[in-house]
Amino acid sequence: MPYEPPTHTVERSIRATTGAKIIAGVDEVGRGAWAGPVTVCAAVTGLRRPPVGLTDSKLISPKRRAELAEEVEKWVTSHALGHASPEEIDELGMTAALRLAAGRALDALPVRPDAVILDGKHDYLGQPWRVRTVIKGDQSCIAVAAASVLAKVRRDAMMAELAAESAQYAVFGFGENAGYPSPVHKAALRQWGPTPYHRLSWSYLDALPQWRHLKKIRISAEAAELESGGQLGFDF
């Protein structure tokens, strides 16, 4: 079933109801990965016609996604990326890490947005940002789709660069799985244990008795909340 292309409908609505002029679309990638950062992109597009084929990055082939990212980088009014490291994810929990990464992305924009369109149903940004959450915003909102593509391509490239850095990291297949739990990744974890780029507070370590002693326990109330991506059980 073909997907409807994203539009500027939400941006126009925000402009009409709030008077906002600069609106950033924000999307993240890496929430469910076991290794690597969580990456957030903030993209400002104005109301111009987008490059052909722009939509949720998950619906685009890797080859086309890389090509489209080059087009989007030239097309957007501005964009910026923010990252939260595995150590920050372990210390803060995913919700706070997302807030940190998104804040870094938004602060790095050349002009502060008047409003933010955030993909999903949960506003993890909060004050002082004026936020409109949109479920599947990466499929329906042009600015969020642009952020989706730019975040995905950049984070994938970061993980591929990590895999190329040394044979120690290449065995995890980061260039192919971007830190997500593929069979190759799971097999390498069983044999070699986690790298410095792994998230050590997540429950996958519970299934690895020989490495379980490395697990980090978060102690703050917010950080201890159950995070759906990191608290699922996996059959090794």
Count of C-beta atoms within a 10 Å radius of residue 216: 14
Pairing type for strands 78-84 and 115-119 reads unpaired
Confidence grade of residue 220 (pLDDT, cut at 50, 70, 90): low
Confidence check: pLDDT of 233 > 50: no
What are the backbone dihedrals phi and psi of residue 47, each rounded to the nearest 5 degrees, phi first? -115, 25
Closest among 146, 147, 169 to 36, alpha carbons compared: 169
Lowest mean pLDDT among 51-55, 103-107, 151-155, 182-186: 51-55
- Tell me, what amino acid is at 35? A
119 contacts 52 by C-beta, under 8 angstroms: no
Q: Kindly report, residue by residue over 75-105, the tens digit of the pLDDT.
A: 999 999 999 999 999 999 999 999 999 999 9
pLDDT at site 38: 98
Please state the rounded mean pLDDT for residues 211-224: 72
Kindly state the DSSP code that residue 203 receives in the 8-state scheme.
G
Distance CA 67, CA 28 (A): 19
Confidence check: pLDDT of 225 > 80: no
Residue 52: which region, alpha, beta or left (left: phi > 0; alpha: psi -120 to 50)? beta
Q: Kindly report, residue by residue over 104-155, the tens digit of the pLDDT.
A: 999 999 999 999 999 999 999 999 999 999 999 999 999 999 999 999 999 9
Confidence check: pLDDT of 162 > 80: yes
Look-up: residue for tokens 């002029």?
21
Distance CA 227, CA 192 (A): 26
- Intra-chain end-to-end CA distance of the chain, in Å: 34
107 or 46: which leads in pLDDT: 107
Mean pLDDT score of the chain, rounded to an integer?
90
